[in-house]
Amino acid sequence: MTDPVRHWVRSASRIAVLTGAGMSAESGVPTFRDAQTGLWAKFDPQQLATEHAFRANPKMVWDWYAFRRDLIAKVEPNAGHRALAAFSRRHPGRLTLITQNVDGLHQRAGSEGALALHGNIFEDKWLDTPGACCNADAAVADTPPYCGRCGNLLRPAVVWFGEALPARALAAAEAAANECDVMLVVGTSGVVYPAAGLARTAAGKVVIINPEPTELDDAADAVLRGRAAQLLPLLLED
């Protein structure tokens, strides 16, 4: 089944790739719930990953994200991440990478301009609208860091439950879906919207790459049962 998909990819002028948690799991990144171990096993991540939780107990939520950052920092991009980055270098402007993952593995593999719909766990931003006094480089080193003049807190630059996706990244992702000849949907269950909706609105062929059935299989022109680290290097070779 890979041969027809390889032909679609080779002949496509515009390729969109949507990646989800399964892509990172192959590198050893725990899924959102699987990361709840040890001290954090008693906490519901959906209760921690909210603005309300952070305002109520900023130290606890910051410490939880520090724990997750430590876990992710220990893993490396896999062959699938590297294949996407290598293809983009060989074919500038031809592939748009859209990811639901916050781990930065695509960027570490060398993919530039990835549309990170849910943010990046290794970056911070201000909790409230920053004033002229808010300088992240001069923030008071605390848990979490804060502006020494106004008290504004730094928070992880990820999309929390109840928050909208970054408008520019989502608009660019929607445009890529609407203009693509092929969309590869890699390692995502297809249950998280609006990201999953991109596959249903894609203009071109939709290819699902996942070891297990997904909620998007019915929207696919082809379903490849396998791991991204195995299949993407085959599909993206010249």
Query: Catalytic residue at 118?
Result: yes
Cβ proximity of 190 and 215 under 8 Å: yes
User: Could you count the other beta carbons within 10 Å of the beta carbon of residue 183?
Assistant: 29
Decide the pairing of beta strands 154-158 and 119-126: antiparallel
3-state secondary structure the chain: CHHHHHHHHHHCCCEEEEECHHHHHCCCCCCCCCCCCHHHHHCCHHHHCCHHHHHHCHHHHHHHHHHHHHHHHCCCCCHHHHHHHHHHHHCCCCEEEEECCCCCHHHHHCCCCCEECCEEEEEEEECCCCCCCCCHHHCECCCCCECCCCCCEEEEEECCCCCCCCHHHHHHHHHHHHHCCEEEEECCCCCCCCCCHHHHHCCCEEEEECCCCCCCHHHCCEEECCCHHHHHHHHHCC
Q: Which listed residue (81, 91, 106, 118) is catalytic?
A: 118
Active site residue ranges: 118
